[in-house]
């Protein structure tokens, strides 16, 4: 299992679909599946590792904006089992028929003076450009602002990755600027674009809607 589960304090959430929740404590809920209209976000489990490994070792999956990688299952299991100094969680993006079409993650960007959440995502090539990634990004933004005490959420993209930048803009992220020579991708140091959305810019959930407790 990637990361650890987090409890959300009393209020339930319902989606313009709904969230399937497991009660973990008397005063909290643990969401294992977040449902939207066309896609769900499901917490990644150990049983998903063969699929994740297949994606990671597929050059086409990485596309032109990420460096191709090659990992063994042993290496991947070790990476995911080792403790990290910050919270993170990985989700699979699934269509309503259960087809797995991508990956979504969030983590705290390490910095001694801030507590900034960052998201990342990737879709399989055949399912790009269909709106699934935008919906998944909106779901994770709703979830994080509803459940975490963070003033903002950020994301970065390759400077030439216009599709990913459009996803973020549709969800309400604003372009902050260019971070020069930040990532080593395909043999060269590459500029990336930093995007962020503030809590006050979010203006409430778009897919995960708050349900008044009775």
Residue 23 located in a structural domain: no
**Are 146 and 8 in contact, with CB atoms under 8 Å apart?**
yes
Output the CA torsion sign for 134, 140, 145, 150: negative
In a domain, 6, yes or no: no
Does residue 197 contact residue 150 with C-beta atoms inside 8 Å? no
Give the pLDDT of the chain (214 residues) as one tens digit per residue.
222 333 232 233 333 333 333 333 333 444 558 999 999 999 999 899 999 999 989 988 888 888 788 888 888 888 777 777 678 899 999 999 999 999 999 998 777 788 789 999 999 999 999 999 999 999 999 999 999 989 999 999 999 999 999 999 999 999 999 999 999 988 899 999 999 999 999 999 999 875 533 3
pLDDT score, position 27? 32
In the chain, the number of structural domains is: 1
pLDDT for the residue 210: 55
Q: Residue 44: inside a domain, yes or no?
A: yes
Tokens encoding 208: 């995960």
Q: Which of 195, 201, 4 has the alpha carbon at shortest distance from 116? A: 195
- Whether residue 10 lies inside any domain: the answer is no
Residue 98 included in any domain: yes
Range of the structural domain that residue 55 is part of: 29-207
Let me know if residue 9 belongs to a domain.
no
Residue pair 26/20 in contact by the 8 Å Cβ criterion: no
pTM beyond 0.85, yes or no: no
The Cβ of residue 93 has, within 10 Å, a number of other Cβ atoms equal to 27
Q: Is residue 17 part of a domain?
A: no
What pLDDT does residue 148 have? 92
| Residue 148's CATH number | 3.40.630.30
Euclidean distance between CA atoms 43 and 145, whole angstroms: 18
43 touches 91 (CB < 8 A): yes
Tell me how crowded residue 209 is: count the other CB atoms within 10 A of its CB. Answer: 14
Predicted local confidence at residue 31, as pLDDT: 53
Residue 213 within any structural domain of the chain: no
């Amino acid at each position: 299992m990637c990361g650890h589960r987090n409890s959300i304090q009393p209020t339930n959430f319902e989606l313009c679909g709904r969230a399937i929740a497991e009660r973990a404590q008397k005063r909290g809920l643990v969401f294992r599946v977040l449902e939207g209209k066309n896609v769900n976000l499901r917490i990644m489990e150990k049983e998903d590792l063969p699929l994740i490994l297949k994606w990671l070792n597929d050059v086409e999956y990485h596309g032109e904006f990420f460096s191709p990688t090659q990992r063994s299952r042993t290496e991947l299991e070790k990476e995911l089992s080792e403790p990290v100094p910050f919270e993170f969680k990985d989700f699979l993006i699934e269509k309503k028929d259960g087809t797995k079409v991508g990956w979504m993650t969030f983590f705290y960007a390490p910095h001694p003076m801030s507590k900034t959440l960052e998201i990342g995502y990737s879709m399989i090539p055949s399912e790009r450009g269909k709106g699934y990634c935008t919906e998944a990004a909106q779901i994770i933004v709703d979830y994080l602002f509803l459940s975490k005490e963070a003033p903002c959420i950020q994301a970065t993209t390759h400077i030439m990755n216009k599709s990913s930048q459009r996803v973020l803009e549709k969800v309400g992220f604003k372009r902050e600027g260019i971070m020069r020579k930040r990532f080593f991708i395909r043999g060269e140091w590459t500029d990336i674009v930093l995007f962020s959305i503030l809590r006050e810019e979010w203006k409430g959930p778009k897919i995960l809607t708050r349900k008044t407790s009775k």
